């Protein structure tokens, strides 16, 4: 009888240890998902801060009225502020593009926060970028900006790209 009790206890201990391991694995997966979401949320907040930066706003202000595909010579002919603005925009979107590609920032968040602006600015700067690449023998100059703008442009052409005021016209805040 004593041996049977020990076998029962051993079986119960084995079941408990198995449940503990499984429970620990489930908890770890949940924690990893939560950590990833926290990282994405933090990246979204930082992205939003970037677009509230006065230097970014000034760069957009300078560049938005340029003709599409402005050559480097024409951009430089305006004043040094224009090329500095172009470099600022390229640097920001270069970083954002790489973060999106590596799943460190949500593409949908980038699309909602800055999709249209990025596409327009790329249209303005793509010739200037090509000129810089040729002058510097640096084909990777603004490569992630180009990639991001092309991805956003492809999304912009889809039905999903309706402006938020149309797409979410029936949305109401929760009370």
Confidence bin at 159 (pLDDT 50/70/90): low
pLDDT value, residue 16: 84
pLDDT digits over 5-29, tens only?
778 888 888 888 888 888 888 888 8
Q: Which residues contact 109 (CB under 8 A, 6 or more apart)?
A: 40, 43, 44, 47
| Best-predicted range by mean pLDDT (140-149, 151-160, 165-174) | 140-149
3-state secondary structure the chain: CHHHHHHHHHHHHHHHHHHHHHHHHHHHHHHHHHHHHHHHHHHHHHHHHHHCCHHHHHHHHHHCCCCCCCCHHHHHHHCHHHHHHHHHHHHHHHHHHHHHHCCCCCHHHHHHHHHHHHHHHHHHHHHHHHHHHHHHCCCCCCHHHHHHHHHHHHHHCCHHHCCHHHHCCCCCCCC
Confidence bin at 1 (pLDDT 50/70/90): low
Residue 123: phi and psi, rounded to 5, are -55, -40
pLDDT digits over 28-66, tens only?
888 888 888 787 777 777 777 776 788 999 999 999 999
pLDDT value, residue 157: 64
pLDDT value, residue 106: 85
Over residues 85-89, the mean pLDDT reads: 96
């Amino acid at each position: 009888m004593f041996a049977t009790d020990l076998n029962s206890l051993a079986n119960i201990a084995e079941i408990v240890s198995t449940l503990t391991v499984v429970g620990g694995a489930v908890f770890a997966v949940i924690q990893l998902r939560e950590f990833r979401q926290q990282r994405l949320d933090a990246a979204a907040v930082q992205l939003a801060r970037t677009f509230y930066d006065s230097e970014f706003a000034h760069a957009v202000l300078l560049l938005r009225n340029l003709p599409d595909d402005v050559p480097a010579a024409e951009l430089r002919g305006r004043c040094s502020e224009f090329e500095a603005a172009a470099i600022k925009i390229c640097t920001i979107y270069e970083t954002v593009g790489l973060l999106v590609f590596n799943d460190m920032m949500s593409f949908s968040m980038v699309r909602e926060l800055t999709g249209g602006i990025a596409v327009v600015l790329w249209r303005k700067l793509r010739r200037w970028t090509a000129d810089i690449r040729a002058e510097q023998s640096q084909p990777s100059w603004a490569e992630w900006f180009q990639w991001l703008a092309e991805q956003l442009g492809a999304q912009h052409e889809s039905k999903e790209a309706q402006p938020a005021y149309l797409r979410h016209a029936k949305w109401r805040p929760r009370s």
